[in-house]
Chain A
C-alpha cells in the first residue's frame, strides 16, 4: 500500500508542477493576481506531495519491503537503520526523487519567503522552477520509477554497496543536491528577469542569498565527498580530478563567481548581463554534472552501472534548458546596459577580475573533463586527461586569483587607490613573505612552489584578519572600542573575512598534504616495523573480527613517536557476505595538524604477510577545516539582514513592465 501512495503522490506532484508552470506564466502574462497566487499555492502543494512520496520511499526501506524493486536492489534486512534510510537515496531512482523533492522545496521557499517580490517576477520564477520540476518528474515517472514492484517478492535484498554504508556518504548526496538544485533558483530568477527585461539592484538582492545558500551547501557536499574518499577508498588521496568530482567543482566555481558578481550588481548596478550569464551557467553546470554522473559516459570512480536511455533523457533536459535559456539571454542581454562607470582601480574591477579567473578556471576544468569525449567522438581513440593537466591549469589560474583576494574588501567602490590598500595590507604581506621564506629555508624536500603555496595561504588568512583589524580600527583606538566595533561589524563583513580565511586554510592543507606527504607501502608480518614521518609503526598482530553484517581482518598497529607509545591503530579489511564485496576501513590518527593514515591491503601468498599502506600527511585536516570556514562565512553573510531589509521596492504598478 505504501509504495502505491508514494507513486500516486509522485504523479500528483507531476500534475501540480504542470499546473504551477501554466499558472505562473499565464498569470504573469495576463497580470491575473489570483492565477499568480495559485502558482504559489501549487508550489507548496508540490513540495508536500513530493515529501509524501519521498517519505513513502523511506518507509518502504525502513520496513524492508522486498516487493519493491529498488529496495531489493539496494537494501537488506540485516543492515543498520541509518543505512536503510540512507539507502533510499543511495541509488539512482531514489536520488532522482530526492533531487525533485529539493527542487520543489526550494520552489515552496520562494512561494513562502518571496512575499516582497513583485508578483509577476515571483510567478515567473515559480513557473520556470516548475518547468524544471516537470522535466525531472517525467524522467522519474518514465525511466526510473522508484516504486516499481517485484512479483514474486524475494525473501531478502541484495544489500547496499558496502562502500556507501558510511555516515559521510549518507549525508553527502543530500548536501550536494541541495547545492546543485539551489542554483535552479538563481537560474529561475535569471530567466524570469530576462523575460521581464528588468535586472536591477533589487533583483540582485533577491538572487544573492539563494546563490550563497546553494554555494554553501555545495561547499559542504564537496568537502564531505572528498573526506569520504580520503578515509574510505584507502588510497590516501583527497581529490582525484575525477570527472564526477570535476562536475561538482564546475557549479561551485561558477557559483563562487556568481555570488561575487551579484554584489557588484546589487551595490553598483553594473555587470548585470554577466551576473545573469553566471546564474544560467551555474545551473547548466549542475545539470551537466547530473548528466555525467547518471549517464556513465565518462570513466570515473563514481560511474555506476548506468542505462543509456536515462542518459539520453537527461541529455535532452540539459540541451533544452541550456539552449532555451541561453537563446533568451542572447536575445535580451543587449538591453541590460550598465548605467554606471567605475575606474580600473576599484572594487568593481577586483571583483570583475575574480569573476574572469574563476570562470576561466571553470572553463579549463570543463575542457579537461570533456576533452576525452570529444577525442573519442572524432578519432575513436580513448584518452584520459589526468591530474597533471588540472593541477597545472587550475593552479596557474588560482595563483593570481588568490593574490588579489585580500585586496578586494580593502578597495573602495567606484574609484580606489592601490597605494592606500597596499599600505593597509603591508603587515599581512610581510607575515606571508616571512612564512614563505622560512618554509623555503627549512624544507628539506618538496618543490619551491610549496613555499609559494604556504605563503599564499598565509597571505589569505592574514589579509582577512587585517581587513577585520582595519574595520575595527585596531591599534588606533582603544582596545575596548576596537572590540565593540568588531562585534558591531555587519555579518557580511565577518562572512567574507571568514570565507576568505577559509580559502587560505584549505590552500595550506592542500599544499602541505601534497608536498610533504610521506608514503610507505610494504608487506608486513607480525613484528615488522615501518618508519613514517615522526612515527614508528609496529604490526603487533592480525586479528579476525565479526561485525554486524560483515567479517573482517584487523591489523593491530602500535604507533610510537619519539620512543613513547602514542596509540594503537586498527585498520580493517571487511568482507560483506551479502554482496560478496570487500572494503578497506582505514585508521586515521589526527593531531589536528597532521594525519597518520593506515590502510590494510591483501594477505600475501605466504599467508603471514599483509600489505600495509601508511601515509603521513601534514596539515591534511586543514583541507576540510577550510571548507567548513567557507561555509560558515557564507552562513554569517546570509544572516546579515542589513543587506536585504530595505531593498528598494520596485514600483511595478506605476511603471508597466517592459515586456514585449
Chain B
C-alpha cells in the first residue's frame, strides 16, 4: 500500500466506526427518552390521547400535605400536586430519605388505566433546599410557585 492509500484506509476505518457510533446514538435516543410532565399537563395529555397508559413518563410536583398513606401489606400511596391538579401515585418500594410532604418530588413510572400513576422510582434530592428544575418549571406554569414558600426556589449554598 502506498502512503496515501494507507492514510485513506485509516480515515475510512475511523469514519466507519464513528458512523456506527452515531447511528447507535440516534437509534438509542429515539427509543429511550422519557418525557417529564407536571400533574396538570400529564392529565391533559392522557385526556387527548397524546399520552398512553403504560408509557414511561416522569411526573413531578409537590407531595400534597397529608396525602401519604402507608397501608400494611399494600404499596405506599401519595398525591403529587401542582396546586390545581392532583395525581394519585402508588409506589411499592422504600421512599427516599428526603421524601417529605409539601416538598418537591419526581416520580418515574407509568399511568395505569384508572389514571393512577404507578411509580417504580421516586427521587427526592440530597438537599432539602433543592428543587428539581423541572418541578420548579411545572409549578411556575400552574402559577403555584412563590418566593419563600416551603419547598420553594433554591437557596444559595450546598454541597458537592
Interface residues of A (CB under 8 A from B): 70, 73-74, 89-92, 95, 160-161, 163-164, 173, 233-234, 293, 296-299, 301-307, 341, 343-344, 349, 352-353, 356-357, 360-361, 363-364, 367-368, 371, 381-386, 388-389, 392-393, 396-397, 521, 523, 579-584, 599-606, 608-609, 611, 613
Contacts and interface: CB of A to CB of B under 8 A. Distances in A.
A265 to B, nearest CB: 16
Nearest to B30: A389
Contacts of A397: 21, 24
Nearest to A613: B94
A341 B127 CA distance: 55
Contacts, number: 183
Given A385-B32, A521-B93, A306 B72 contact: no
A602 B125 CA distance: 18
Interface of A, helix, strand, loop or mixed by DSSP: mixed
Interface in B116-158: 123, 125-130, 132-134, 137, 154-158
A352 B13 CA distance: 11
A305 B129 contact: yes
Contact of B25 (A163, A299, A367): A367
A356 B9 contact: no
Given A301-B123, A356-B14, A581-B97, A161 B159 contact: yes
Contact of B94 (A341, A386, A584): A584
Contact of B133 (A89, A297, A393, A580): A297
B72 to A, nearest CB: 4
B44 interface: no
Given A382-B134, A385-B32, A605-B69, A163 B94 contact: no
A304 B14 contact: no
Closest 3 CB pairs of A and B: A304-B158, A601-B94, A382-B36
24 contacts: A90-B160, A160-B159, A163-B97, A299-B106, A299-B132, A301-B126, A304-B158, A305-B154, A341-B6, A344-B1, A344-B6, A344-B9, A360-B18, A363-B21, A382-B35, A382-B134, A385-B32, A393-B28, A581-B128, A584-B94, A602-B76, A603-B70, A604-B71, A611-B93
Contacts of B1: 344
B158 A91 contact: yes
Contacts of A89: 160
A605 B9 contact: no
B82 to A, nearest CB: 13
Nearest to B124: A301
B75 to A, nearest CB: 10
Contacts of A356: 14, 17-18
Contact of A73 (B18, B98, B157): B157
Interface in B1-51: 1, 3, 6, 9-10, 13-14, 17-18, 21, 24-25, 28-29, 31-37
Given A381-B35, A385-B32, A605-B70, 13 more contacts: A89-B160, A163-B97, A234-B94, A293-B160, A299-B123, A302-B126, A303-B126, A307-B154, A360-B17, A367-B29, A601-B95, A605-B72, A609-B73
Contact of A583 (B34, B97, B127, B129): B97
Given A299-B133, A385-B29, A604-B70, A74 B17 contact: no
A92 B9 CA distance: 49
Contacts of A73: 157
B10 A344 contact: yes
Nearest to B132: A299
A613 B134 contact: no
B58 interface: yes
B55 interface: no
Nearest to A609: B72
Contact of A386 (B34, B71, B129): B34
B92 interface: yes
B71 A303 contact: no
The size bracket of the interface on B is 35 or more
Contacts of B156: 305-307
Nearest to B137: A382
A119 B154 CA distance: 49
Contact of A396 (B24, B29, B92, B154): B24
Contacts of A396: 24
A636 B8 CA distance: 38
Given A385-B32, A604-B72, A92 B132 contact: no
A304 B127 contact: yes
B103 to A, nearest CB: 12
Interface string B51-73: 00000001000000000011111
A393 B160 contact: no
B125 A303 contact: yes
A329 B10 CA distance: 22
A296 B133 contact: yes
A40 B160 CA distance: 32
Nearest to B38: A382
Nearest to B134: A382
Contacts of B76: 602, 611
B133 to A, nearest CB: 6
A305 B33 CA distance: 26
B156 to A, nearest CB: 4
Contacts of B25: 364, 367-368, 393
A360 B25 CA distance: 10
B72 A383 contact: no
Contacts of A344: 1, 6, 9-10, 13
A521 B94 contact: yes
Nearest to A525: B72
B157 A392 contact: no
Contacts of A234: 94, 97
Contacts of B69: 605
Contacts of A304: 125-127, 129-130, 158-160
A302 B160 contact: yes
Nearest to A290: B160
Contact of A384 (B34, B125, B154): B34
A602 B160 contact: no
A161 B126 contact: yes
Contacts of A383: 33-36
A262 to B, nearest CB: 19
B3 A341 contact: yes
A392 B14 contact: no
A393 B22 CA distance: 10
Contacts of A604: 70-73
B87 to A, nearest CB: 16
A357 B137 contact: no
A602 B17 CA distance: 49
B154 A602 contact: no
A298 B156 CA distance: 16
A368 B29 contact: yes
Contact of A521 (B24, B92, B98): B92
A605 B154 CA distance: 32
